[in-house]
């Protein structure tokens, strides 16, 4: 059995771990960069941190007593990813600098080609490239004309010195609010260009004291117990609240966001600019207890007028005003629905994945696609990404996929793929369940794909866990050798 995994971030690490637990050791991870880590390798902007509690944002098979904050900064998570990969013995299995360009299925095997050439044939391939790694720039005239430093948040150089600079941040989601709060005290002037205000949930990011860390080192069972507590709270309260499965929790969450805004921002004019016109949770909730304070500093400005164009000296808004800047940071997100892009993946009968997804990305339970035998995804279409802890999602899917791949170890089974009819029915049920969710209540967000459909998961975590407990082989087509 030879298995190729595309990527070397959290999803890939989980997939490799569960494959090895099934006794599958001939695994190759193809990574386009020169370091593993995915999101936490790419995003090194000021203030980058996870908005999921540290002791929940980890693999169940790799507990970590060393987190220093309630919600970990990005560099700690990146170190955790690397340490986990080392402990699992994965480093020698990763081919760095190998971006997959082509994968073609022929006679029961996948031929994989990277930027370094043909890499051989594999019995199964797993795409674990993540959803948020192709930076998206706004469509603004003159974006190339700026004379100062301009970059996307996911391409930030940590060596950049912002001291005494006039800084503009375009984008007011989680990334934009983190950057504003992190840099406001060291810049001469800060302007946040906000297209849409965000609902913000206050969550003090307290340090985890050395005494508590030592307790977890001495008693790993206590750490596992805390993980279970956080998972239950996160999934049955927050995740079920935004997916409509816990109305009472939703009301408490919505009220907390409104109270936070009114208690934190006294100026009625500024408060009005920061007040969304959509329901809490329609866009991905921002978690911060520092942003409102930062944007009220005397040298900080919130600009809500539309951007007309970017000029060499700064940003000009529709009212004709020129905002002079030395630095522009684009906190404008990613092409969230470019799954497997730009790889060219060709399945059975010469059909490409791009052709199969011409009218939208669809998959069986987010992990497999009809017509593409022995091809699996972690974080595929409609994965629970925005409302669950992604590491929980990735680990659950990785365990499920490893179970499917292990069946190929039986010499009698040549290929496995989901039944097309079952897949259609699953996606029809999913789209029907999406109607009436908070995400369709009247806002524009990155959850919407280019076809206007919400690419999220509409059900509870308990259903997700139950559905992914083990593959129902009646839903799959098996070709016997």
322-324 and 109-114 beta bridge pairing: unpaired
* Dist. CA 379–CA 176, nearest whole Å: 24
Six token digits for residue 207: 């340090």
Kindly state the average pLDDT of the residues 276-290. Answer: 94
Res 368: pLDDT: 98
Q: Please, are residues 191 and 169 in contact by the beta-carbon 8 Å criterion?
A: yes
Sign of CA dihedral 175, 286, 51, 131: negative
Six token digits for residue 319: 């009212």
pLDDT in tens, 285-316: 999 999 999 999 999 999 999 999 999 999 99
pLDDT in tens, 158-198: 999 999 999 999 999 999 999 999 999 999 999 999 999 99
pLDDT level of residue 245 (50, 70, 90 thresholds): confident
124-127 and 3-6 beta bridge pairing: parallel
Q: What percent of the chain has pLDDT over 90?
A: 88
Using only the alpha carbons of the chain, give its radius of gyration: 23
| Lowest-confidence segment of 11-15, 174-178, 438-442 by average pLDDT | 438-442
pLDDT level of residue 124 (50, 70, 90 thresholds): very high
pLDDT level of residue 130 (50, 70, 90 thresholds): confident
pLDDT level of residue 242 (50, 70, 90 thresholds): confident
pLDDT greater than 80 at residue 254: yes
Q: 42, 310, 302: which is closest to 177 by C-alpha? A: 302
Q: 456, 374, 375, 372: which is closest to 420 by C-alpha? A: 372
DSSP three-state, residue 63: coil
Torsion of CA 58, 59, 60, 61, to 10 degrees: -130
Q: Please, are residues 7 and 31 in contact by the beta-carbon 8 Å criterion?
A: yes
Q: Please, are residues 400 and 470 in contact by the beta-carbon 8 Å criterion?
A: yes
pLDDT in tens, 364-386: 999 999 999 999 999 999 998 87
pLDDT level of residue 405 (50, 70, 90 thresholds): very high
pLDDT in tens, 55-65: 999 999 999 99
pLDDT level of residue 251 (50, 70, 90 thresholds): very high
pLDDT level of residue 238 (50, 70, 90 thresholds): confident
pLDDT greater than 90 at residue 29: yes
Kindly state the average pLDDT of the residues 6-35. Answer: 98
**Cα separation values, 215 from 57, 62, 207, 211, 232, Å:** 19, 17, 15, 6, 22
pLDDT greater than 90 at residue 30: yes
Q: 100, 105, 122: which is closest to 371 by C-alpha? A: 105
* Dist. CA 9–CA 38, nearest whole Å: 4
List the 94-96 sheet strands across, edge first: 94-96, 27-31, 3-6, 124-127, 375-377
- Phi-psi domain of 433 (left: phi exceeds 0; alpha: psi -120 through 50; beta: other): alpha
pLDDT greater than 80 at residue 481: no
Under CATH, which architecture does the 149-205+247-330 domain have? 3-Layer(bba) Sandwich (3.50)
Res 402: pLDDT: 98
**Average confidence score pLDDT of the chain:** 95
Res 220: pLDDT: 96
CA angle 384, 434, 261 (to 5 degrees): 75
Res 436: pLDDT: 81
Q: Please, are residues 43 and 66 in contact by the beta-carbon 8 Å criterion?
A: no
| Lowest-confidence segment of 26-40, 122-136, 185-199, 379-393 by average pLDDT | 379-393
DSSP run (H or E) holding 169: strand 166-170
Q: List the alpha helices (DSSP H) in 106-264.
A: 174-183, 210-218, 220-233, 240-242, 247-264
Pick the CATH number of 3-134+335-480 from 3.90.120.10, 3.40.630.30, 3.50.50.60, 1.10.4160.10: 3.50.50.60
Domain 3-134+335-480 and domain 149-205+247-330 have a common topology = yes
Q: 385, 386, 383: which is closest to 401 by C-alpha? A: 383
Res 354: pLDDT: 95
pLDDT in tens, 314-332: 999 999 999 999 999 999 9
pLDDT level of residue 248 (50, 70, 90 thresholds): very high
Q: List the alpha helices (DSSP H) in 265-333.
A: 268-273, 291-295
pLDDT greater than 90 at residue 18: yes
| Lowest-confidence segment of 1-5, 28-32, 177-181, 406-410 by average pLDDT | 406-410
Q: Where are the domains of the chain?
A: 3-134+335-480, 149-205+247-330
The DSSP secondary-structure symbol of 239 reads I
Q: What percent of the chain has pLDDT over 70?
A: 100
């Amino acid at each position: 059995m030879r298995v190729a995994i595309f990527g070397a971030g959290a999803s890939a690490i989980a997939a490799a771990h569960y494959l090895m637990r099934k006794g599958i050791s001939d695994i190759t991870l193809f990574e386009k960069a020169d370091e593993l880590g995915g999101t936490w390798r790419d995003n090194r902007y000021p203030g980058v941190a996870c908005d999921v509690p540290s002791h929940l944002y980890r693999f169940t098979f790799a507990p970590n007593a060393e987190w220093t904050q309630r919600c970990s900064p990005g560099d700690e998570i990146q170190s955790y990813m690397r340490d986990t990969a080392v402990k699992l013995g994965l480093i020698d299995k990763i081919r760095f600098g190998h971006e997959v360009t082509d994968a073609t299925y022929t006679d029961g095997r996948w031929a994989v080609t990277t930027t370094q050439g043909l890499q051989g044939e594999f019995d199964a391939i797993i795409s674990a490239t993540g959803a948020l790694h192709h930076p998206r720039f706004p469509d603004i005239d003159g974006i190339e004309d700026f004379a100062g430093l301009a970059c996307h948040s996911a391409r930030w150089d940590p060596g950049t010195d912002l001291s005494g600079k006039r800084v503009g941040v375009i984008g007011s989601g989680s990334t934009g609010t983190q950057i504003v709060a992190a840099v406001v005290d060291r810049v001469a002037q800060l302007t946040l260009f906000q297209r849409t205000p965000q609902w913000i949930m206050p969550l003090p990011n307290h340090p985890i004291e050395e005494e508590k860390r030592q307790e977890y080192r001495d008693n790993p069972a206590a750490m596992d117990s805390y993980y279970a507590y956080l998972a239950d709270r996160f999934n049955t309260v927050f995740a079920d609240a935004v997916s409509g499965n816990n109305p009472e929790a939703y009301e408490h969450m919505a009220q907390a966001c409104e109270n936070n805004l009114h208690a934190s921002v006294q100026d009625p004019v500024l408060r009005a600019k920061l007040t969304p016109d959509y329901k809490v949770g329609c866009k991905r909730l921002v978690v911060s207890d520092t942003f409102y304070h930062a944007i009220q500093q005397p040298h900080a400005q919130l600009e809500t007028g539309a951007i007309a164009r970017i000029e060499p000296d700064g940003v000009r808004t529709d009212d004709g005003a020129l905002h002079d800047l030395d630095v522009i940071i684009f906190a404008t997100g990613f092409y969230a629905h470019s799954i497997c892009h730009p790889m060219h993946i060709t399945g059975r009968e010469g059909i490409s994945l791009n052709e199969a997804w011409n009218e939208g990305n669809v998959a069986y339970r987010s992990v497999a696609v009809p017509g593409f035998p022995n091809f699996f995804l972690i974080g595929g279409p409609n994965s629970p990404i925005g409302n669950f802890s992604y590491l929980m999602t990735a680990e659950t899917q990785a365990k499920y996929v490893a179970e499917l791949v292990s069946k190929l170890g039986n010499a009698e089974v040549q290929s496995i793929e989901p039944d097309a009819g079952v897949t259609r029915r699953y996606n029809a049920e999913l789209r029907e369940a999406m109607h009436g969710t908070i995400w369709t209540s009247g806002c524009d967000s990155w959850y919407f794909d280019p076809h206007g459909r919400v690419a999220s998961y509409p059900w509870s975590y308990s259903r997700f866990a139950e559905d992914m407990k083990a593959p129902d082989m009646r839903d799959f087509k098996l070709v016997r050798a």
